[in-house]
Structure 1
């Protein structure tokens, strides 16, 4: 498979100039380090801005994939792990062996939505058709109601929580075709598909914009209501994981903020589905 080696790493530091902050040492102590899912990244970015305005606590945020975030939480190099999938049994087991107590917090609902170029006449695919395209048994758009053109398959790398959910719900653990173009983030897939009329990819619901065309799956439209009720076939929850053995008071405050009405409003503003109304 072709792979992009670049890792999306967005570092966000919300702080005023040193001359304006006499209590910098306290802010350094309270700084929250968040790593993980690129799907959860836009939610956390918006929340971090509002959180800093309210509490004046610095947040360092990296989008390097769900697996990396969970690994970092277990080894103690971050305070919160963003994840677009549930932790694996082996990850829970590793944490237990290390004496860590990991807590799972669902913060939003999401859907993984297949996308194509706006010029593509295809508007709906079944799960069976998606699997056939991604495993390589269907290679031409005309075989699924489109133009006579070779399908360019865009997928996520294996460290992605989004890929793991896609692999489970769509691929049924069948390997993605060897010539798939692997991307490191939702944003990279969005950009690639928006520039290629023959391409198909998949992204979190909150990433969809007018530069791509979201597809119905099994005739079900990707809407907030269909995601919330589970009617949409590729729905999931988004998580933040914390280590209850080592959690900082500031990190717990941020988790509480995410579940508050203000935090859930930010989830909706970011284009995702609140876990709480």
Structure 2
């Protein structure tokens, strides 16, 4: 990935709010979005050389914590802010954070290329990741132990999967935690009987499965069409959060560009799915 020059955030002398120093924008948060965020920054700086954008990951929770602590201008998030996070923000800034939907993602379920399994239901995924299903033969595969990989609990993708697929249940104790989606994918690519999950843009090196809402439903593969029309059952928005007090000037222009045709072309180039036209900036 392209290394972006280190920048910093200026904090107001009063300590009540903060704003980007002229031409400098910091972005922190979702590892799922870090490649997308860096490509947005790279493309934007090509046409706006007076603006410098620094993008780092660490996880959605890390990015939101930095937003609360005045440690970043923008927080990338692969899930919505939690009610407590919003409440904490209001206590500090006396207003709610501004939420922008910036892309669509079909959360993919990855298995090794050599695994004959082609589809699973949401119920089967629940069983695999909570430990009720431990062998591939239980879901129509080979007689081999399932090796399960997940994200760390600071990850928005982890929380989205836990709420959307596991309905709040805990992951099995045997699940192996990985530091990022790329690491999950690499582990699955190495382990013939592995399974993991991650954003659609990280699909190289393994294969993704078609997913069924229930045993009687048709299995649907993640694609722009199935994510936009909602037929793929594990889809989500990707978000950027900002303090409304600084959503102007350079930062406001950058956020508008991200949601414009130019910014949304980057979304598609990276492998995620552009926003519906009614959510784009015209």
TM-score (norm 1): 0.89
1: CA distance, partners of 2:47 / 2:186: 34
Instruction: Determine whether 1:76 maps to 2:42.
Output: no
Instruction: Determine whether 1:89 maps to 2:83.
Output: yes
2: CA distance, partners of 1:34 / 1:95: 17
Cα deviations by residue, 1:160-194 (Å, 9 ceiling, x for unpaired) = 00011100111111110101110111111011111
Instruction: Determine whether 1:215 maps to 2:209.
Output: yes
Post-superposition shift, 1:80? 0.5
Instruction: Determine whether 1:122 maps to 2:117.
Output: yes
Q: 1:182 to 1:10 in 2, by over 3 A?
A: farther
* 1:43-58 correspondence to structure 2 within 5 Å: 43-56=36-49, 57-58=51-52
8 A Cα contact 2:228 2:276, kept in partner: no
Give the aligned partner of residue 149 of structure 1. 144
8 A Cα contact 1:101 1:245, kept in partner: no
Post-superposition shift, 1:223? 1.2
1: CA distance, partners of 2:240 / 2:65: 13
Report the secondary structure of 2:251's partner residue: helix
8 A Cα contact 1:28 1:58, kept in partner: no
Cα deviations by residue, 1:49-80 (Å, 9 ceiling, x for unpaired) = 11111111111111110111111112111000
8 A Cα contact 1:10 1:61, kept in partner: no
Give the aligned partner of residue 239 of structure 1. 239
Q: Which moved more, 1:240-249 or 1:170-179?
A: 240-249
Cα deviations by residue, 1:196-236 (Å, 9 ceiling, x for unpaired) = 10100001011112x20100110111111111111111100
8 A Cα contact 2:189 2:206, kept in partner: yes
Structure 1, unmatched stretches of 5+, are 1-8, 16-26
TM-score (norm 2): 0.87
RCO (CA 8 Å, sep 6+): is it higher in 1 or 2? 1
2: CA distance, partners of 1:147 / 1:10: 41
Post-superposition shift, 1:46? 1.1
Structure 2, unmatched stretches of 5+, are 8-19, 213-218, 278-282
Q: 1:157 to 1:14 in 2, by over 3 A?
A: closer
1: CA distance, partners of 2:109 / 2:264: 25
Report the secondary structure of 1:32's partner residue: strand
Q: Which runs of 4+ in 1 moved over 3 A?
A: none
The alignment yields a C-alpha RMSD, in angstroms, of 1.8
